[in-house]
Amino acid sequence: MPMHEFFMGMNQLELINRAPGFFKYQPHNVAAHSWKVAQIAQFLADVEEQNGAVINWQSVYEKALNHDYTERFIGDIKTPVKYATATLRSMLADVEDSMTENFIKTEIPQQFQTAYTRRLGEGKDDTIEGKILSIADKVDLMYEAYGELEKFNPEPVYVNIFQSGLEALAAFKDMASVKYIATDILPDIFAEEFTSKALLYDLAKSLLPDFTGKKRDI
């Protein structure tokens, strides 16, 4: 049954909820998240390209669309659990890698196995495309949290998620796409009212030098 299990896996991803175990007004699933990350990555790559970067567009789309496909094997494990210890994170990665490798060997036609080994591997590497994926993934996570914060969801986890997103962006603060987020996107976010706005605003200013709270003149 060439590719049948792979296509069926996309249906499974629609049933895996993001941020499991917490009350939310708007549920999100892994399949929708992958599509949103692809859209965000596409724009971030535009920004990088306009600022002189050479972009491998095939890699951008492959990394973004497939980055969470392997969650069909282990589910969406809560981030605090997944990163509780380096040992646990390594063990989970080993399980995921082993199940992915076996899946490719048994369910993907041989002539396509090299391509899917690349597509289903860890996409967040040191390439420009890998960095774009890392940023896009966190931006969507921040927007999922923001959607709950502006509805004044009392769960403190969404403040923590938004905060971790800002901290992740700070690791790439010299990239043109993160500078754009800081100058043109975050000001629009902070123009709205939401839970812990002042705390997160101060954090954004401390972590991202380009964030002034006001949109730049274009």
Using the predicted structure, report yes or no on whether residue 136 has a pLDDT greater than 90.
yes
Contacts within 8 Å (CB) and 24+ apart, 101-110: 103/5, 103/73, 107/1, 107/3, 107/4, 107/5, 107/6, 108/2, 108/3, 108/6, 109/2, 109/3
Using H for helix, E for strand and C for coil, what is the string for 130-197? HHHHHHHHHHHHHHHHHHHHCCCCCCCHHHHHHHHHHHHHHCCCCCHHHHHHHHHHHHHHHCCCCCCH
- What tokens appear for 57 in the block? 């567009």
Question: Are the CB atoms for 35 and 57 separated by under 8 Å?
Answer: no
Let me know if residue 161 belongs to a domain: yes
Q: What is the mean pLDDT of residues 152-181?
A: 96
Within a domain: residue 215?
A: no
Name residue 40's amino acid: I
**pLDDT per residue as tens digits for the range 61-114:** 999 999 998 888 766 555 555 555 677 767 777 777 888 898 999 999 999 999
Q: What is the CATH number of the domain that holds 180?
A: 1.10.3210.10
| Percent of the chain clearing pLDDT 90 (strictly above) | 69
Q: Report how many domains make up the chain.
A: 1
Q: Provide the residue range defining the domain that includes 31.
A: 4-207
| pLDDT of the residue at 94 | 78
Provide the pLDDT for residue 129. 98
Is the pLDDT confidence value at 183 over 70? Answer: yes
Give the per-residue pLDDT at 218.
Answer: 41
Dump the DSSP string for 60-93.
Answer: HHHHHHHTTTTHHHH----HHHHTS-HHHHHHHH
